[in-house]
A and B are shown apart, each in its own frame.
Chain A
């Protein structure tokens, strides 16, 4: 019981959580068939990577990792805005969100 209230958590657990989030993002990117959900899986991957950045910033007592996360957040915001605009444009042109039907660039 005493160990449950311990003040210390190994940083490798945070890194494992980050790896699990990234893998779940990859899995969602592969198996989801809805354009919006695929896009959400990309955001999940970005969040997993951000967690490992923050963990390493904590490990090395360096602020650079946190600044990197800040920039990743800004780029993710820009990416979400442009990506969702593209999704709206695709939906207007093809009236579907299923990735299997959006195959204009497929050979």
Chain B
């Protein structure tokens, strides 16, 4: 059963990733990426990381990809164009990526002592506490400071995103600058 689930969702993952590369329209790439992330959540469940599976669906497939689809929609991104630069990138990119994959695969296949994943294993440890209990214990005791620093990081990211995406430089009325210019030209 585990093998079937792994093959199905690994296939979804790889298919989605390849489809992301083949599609020329960004919204199709975004939808393929959602498929990849959701199948990865199932693979996390198979590996006994149920909290991460939930977080993967909520944070990645939910929040981040909604942000991506919003931006694609907002900017009305059309089909990408093939240029000279992309042909050169293809000529260099394919061999380089094949080399990276070959090196990684060689290292992984020659690794000693890699175990097997069994369904339902890893959910509980020897002491009988669940995975999420252990995760939260470590996160809120030993790693409390990094956890709190992460919240500051996200706050800074919010401020940065608002500052970057805001229209114009500090218009107190929040009125878009382009509209203001249009009104001024219309008034003339």
Chain B count of residues within 8 A CB distance of the other chain: 90
Main secondary structure of the interface of A (DSSP, over half): helix
Given A41-B20, A43-B64, A12:B36 Cβ within 8 A = no
Chain A residues within 8 Å of B56, by CB:
50, 73
Query: Which B residues are in CB contact (< 8 Å) with A10?
Result: 114, 116-117
Contact at A82–B117, with CB atoms within 8 Å?
no
Q: Is the interface of B mostly helix, strand, loop or mixed?
A: helix
19 A-B pairs with C-beta separation under 8 A? A8-B118, A9-B116, A12-B111, A13-B10, A17-B43, A19-B101, A21-B36, A23-B104, A24-B18, A28-B21, A33-B83, A47-B36, A55-B47, A63-B131, A63-B135, A66-B49, A66-B52, A74-B150, A92-B167
Q: Which residues of A contact B (CB under 8 A)?
A: 3-17, 19-28, 30-34, 36-37, 39-41, 43-44, 47, 50-51, 54-55, 57-59, 61, 63-64, 66-67, 69-71, 73-82, 84-89, 91-92, 97-100
